[in-house]
Structures are given as C-alpha cells and as structure tokens.
Amino acid sequence: MGAPESDKSPARWISEDLDVSDADAFVEAVAERLLADGVPVGRFAILLRSQHPTLMGRTFLWRKGEGVTLTTVPEQTRAEERFLSSAVYTVFERGETIRRRLCDGEGIEEFGLLKELAEEGATDYLTYPIPFIGGERQAVTWTCFEPGGFSEADIAVLLSLQAPIARMAEICTLRHTMESLLNTYVGPGAGARILAGRHHLGDSDTIEAVVCFCDLRGSVRLAEQYGGERFLQELNAFYSLTAQPVQAAGGEILRFIGDAFLAIFPFNAFGGPAKACEAAMSGATLALARMEEANAARRARGEPVFRCGFGLHVGSVLYGNIGTPDRLEFTVIGSAANETARIEGLSRDLDEPILVSDRFAGLLDRDWRDLGEHALKNVTRPVQIYAPKRD
C-alpha cells in the first residue's frame, strides 16, 4: 500500500495543522493523519530524553486502535542491557537511521525489541534520530503490521517527517523541561503559578494552609565529624528520609534552609483544613518512622543517628514572590510561617519529635498530650502546644 500524492505534504500539515500544546494529542494526530493518507502505520513512538534528576526520559507510544500511552523511563535504564542492545540506543549514540524488513527476517536477532515485534506480527520497522537545535538526538520509531511492510513511497513519507517532528517535539520537550525543572526547584504549586505568569516581584496570593517546618538536630556535630562533601551526602540522606514522605503526603516543599525545610499543605488542595492537617501529620509521622529505621542501620555501622523536630501550625500566609526584580524566590511569608519555625524550635527543649499548635490540634480529631502554654520568640501571644499521644 503506498502513500497517495497530495498537494499538501506531510511536513506541511504537521507544521500548519497540528496542535503541539499536548504531546499525546500530537502523537495521535500524526499517526491518524498518516493512516488517512494511506501509510500503514501500526505502531509509532517518540522517545524523548529528559533533563531530570531521576528520569532518563519519556516515551509516547501510539498503537493502532489503542491510542497513546505515556511511559516515563527511569535514569537507571541507561545502564540496562535491554537498552544498550536496542535500535534506539544506536540512534541516540550514532545518529543512524535503521530500517529492518521483519517480514524477511531482517534484524530480528540484531535488536531485542524487533524479535518481540516480529512475534506480534510486525512486518517492517523504521527508526531515525530527530535532532534538536542544541544537537541532542531524540528518536522516532515506526512499525508496520501489514503484509509486505512499508512500500518505498511509505518510507519516503516517513523520512520526510524527520525535521518537522523534531521541531514539534522540541517545543513539547522545552515545555516539559521547564515544568520539570520548576517543579524540582520550587515545587509543583509554585511552578504552576510561575508558568501561569505569576513571576513578577510582589505577585502573591493569600492562602489558608498547614505550615510544616522540620529541622535536623546536631548538624554542627555532623559537619565537624564529616566535613565537606560527606556532610552534603548526610544532609541529602536526611532529606530523603524526612522530606520525601512529606511530599508523598501531598505537601509542597518550598525551601531547603541549610539543615531544615519549609513545606505547606494548602487547604484548597485537600478539600478542607481537617484533611490538610491529616495529610501533614501522616507525612511527619512516616518521616519519623523512616528515620528510625535508617537509624537502626546507622547504629549497627557505628554512625551517628539522625534526630529532628517537626512543627505543624495552620493559618493565613502570603504565597508568592519575594526578593529583587531579577532574583526571586517563591515561598510563603507571614506570622503563621514564623510561628511554625518557633514551634519546631521548642521540640528540642521539650524532647518531642512533633509539636503542633492549638489551632492545628483543634482541626484534627486525635488524642493529644497538652504540653501547656509557651512563649514563642518575637510572638506576642503565648501558644498552647500539643504533641501526639505516645504509643
């Protein structure tokens, strides 16, 4: 089956007709348009490498009759034999275009995936690089399941899409990279606001939220014992144990402040204050449990254990940009944020890993231990402090 001649080439309809604001929709539209033009595509994939600390990239895979599936590829895939022996790896590393007529048995033993596709009934396979402006190679794969495979006219059409797909894919990738880096460095909530245009000095919103502050105890001792790079590794290990559970519970970490971090649980993200408080308590409790598990192994190795305190409070905070016109930070400010840090500061003196304010305790139905009123530094009113009931 060959592709019919048209006054409008595929390169032009990709550039002029297709929306690239949604990568899934773009991939599906390309495949469906090729089918409508008579090119027998049964499987189409775009493989895009990412600038992300834990992901190698993303794969958008379209199958005829099934639509598009997005798969994230973890960073460790780079070292796996399945990837290193794949046709896509050859495209990434050497920039080669590879075609294998599977109906003739060509290449089935050469690349692992081709054997799997042949077993599914694939008859032809084409992959080539889609180079980005900066020189980085991404990859596209095309698979045919029709008898006889792609015709030479079909191959010509598919090859003609190399440059326009590269440009469209680069637009999608730049958007994703921007979102990914913003989410990594400022958090998903702040990242979304920045992309929506809230990126000027003073842009802010007043929100109701749980404010969470966590601080590592004994960091000076750790710094003196390990110094330099090893101390940085210890800090990262501490944050993996404590900050990740807070994120997993739905908290947004806004700042890492040396050996401490600040996070929020906005009420509107959880459907109300009680659920936000429950999520915050769940994150803090899990963090402490994970830290104690790690401490058991650290004791066995003769290493110093981690100790920390959590302060949980609720109130109105100003959520937005502070700083200078050309150097901004997206964070929360206000009395509730300051009071939360002070509440956490009491945890060392009271020897409690989690302390909450009266406002927080009043929103979460739980057995609390009343630790009395405490004056907070630079805070006018004393605050009634509570701690979770001990097991």
* Residue pLDDT, tens place only, 42-68: 999 999 887 666 778 889 999 999 999
Alpha helices in the chain (DSSP H): 10-17, 23-36, 81-84, 87-94, 112-120, 152-160, 162-186, 188-195, 219-226, 228-248, 267-270, 273-300, 335-350, 358-363
Statement to judge: residues 42 and 178 lie in one domain:
yes
pLDDT given for residue 188 in this prediction: 73
Is the four-CA dihedral 345, 346, 350, 355 of positive or negative sign? negative
- Note the pLDDT tens digit of each residue in 137-178: 899 999 999 999 999 999 999 999 998 888 888 887 777 777
Distance (Å, rounded) from C-alpha 385 to C-alpha 379? Answer: 14
| pLDDT of residue 233 exceeding 70 | yes
Backbone angles phi, psi at 371, to 5 degrees: -100, 10
Statement to judge: residues 220 and 134 lie in one domain:
no
| pLDDT of residue 3 exceeding 60 | no
User: Mean pLDDT over residues 174-183, rounded?
Assistant: 73
Q: Identify the CATH number of the domain in which residue 166 sits.
A: 3.30.450.40
pLDDT given for residue 200 in this prediction: 67
- What confidence tier does 202 reach under pLDDT thresholds 50, 70, 90? low
- Note the pLDDT tens digit of each residue in 246-297: 999 999 999 899 899 999 999 999 999 999 999 999 999 999 999 999 999 9
List the beta bridge partners of residue 142. 44, 126
Residue reference for tokens 């060392």: 348
Statement to judge: residues 237 and 168 lie in one domain:
no
Task: Quote the percentage of the chain above a pLDDT of 90.
Answer: 54
| pLDDT of residue 197 exceeding 50 | yes
- Note the pLDDT tens digit of each residue in 336-369: 999 999 999 999 999 999 999 999 999 999 999 9
Q: Based on the number of CB atoms within 10 Å of its own CB, is 368 exposed (0-12), middle (13-18) or buried (19 or more)? A: middle
Statement to judge: residues 117 and 129 lie in one domain:
yes
CA distances to 216, 278, 281, 299 from 308, in Å? 4, 20, 15, 16
Statement to judge: residues 152 and 282 lie in one domain:
no
Distance (Å, rounded) from C-alpha 255 to C-alpha 273? Answer: 22
| pLDDT of residue 16 exceeding 80 | no
Distance (Å, rounded) from C-alpha 274 to C-alpha 363? Answer: 5
In a domain, 247, yes or no: yes
List the beta bridge partners of residue 215. 260, 309
Distance (Å, rounded) from C-alpha 280 to C-alpha 252? Answer: 10
In a domain, 3, yes or no: no
Q: Are 26 and 18 within 8 A, CB to CB?
A: yes
Q: Identify the CATH number of the domain in which residue 201 sits.
A: 3.30.70.1230
Would you give the distance in Å from CA 169 to the centre of its chain?
A: 19
Would you give the distance in Å from CA 35 to the centre of its chain?
A: 34
Last residue within a domain, chosen from 131, 160, 183: 183
314 or 2, higher pLDDT: 314
- Note the pLDDT tens digit of each residue in 81-131: 778 778 888 898 889 999 999 998 888 888 878 889 999 999 999 999 998
pLDDT given for residue 125 in this prediction: 96
Q: Are 161 and 33 within 8 A, CB to CB?
A: no
CA distances to 178, 293, 334 from 201, in Å? 20, 43, 17
Distance (Å, rounded) from C-alpha 25 to C-alpha 146? Answer: 24
pLDDT given for residue 173 in this prediction: 76
Statement to judge: residues 218 and 154 lie in one domain:
no
CA distances to 124, 179, 276, 279, 385 from 282, in Å? 52, 27, 10, 5, 19
Last residue within a domain, chosen from 143, 166, 183: 183
In a domain, 33, yes or no: yes
Statement to judge: residues 28 and 127 lie in one domain:
yes
Task: Quote the domain boundaries for residue 134.
Answer: 10-183
Statement to judge: residues 114 and 195 lie in one domain:
no
Q: With a threshold of 0.75, does the pTM exceed it?
A: no
187 or 377, higher pLDDT: 377
Longest Cα–Cα distance of the chain, Å, equals: 83
Last residue within a domain, chosen from 183, 214, 249: 183
Total structural domains within the chain: 2
Distance (Å, rounded) from C-alpha 190 to C-alpha 246? Answer: 16
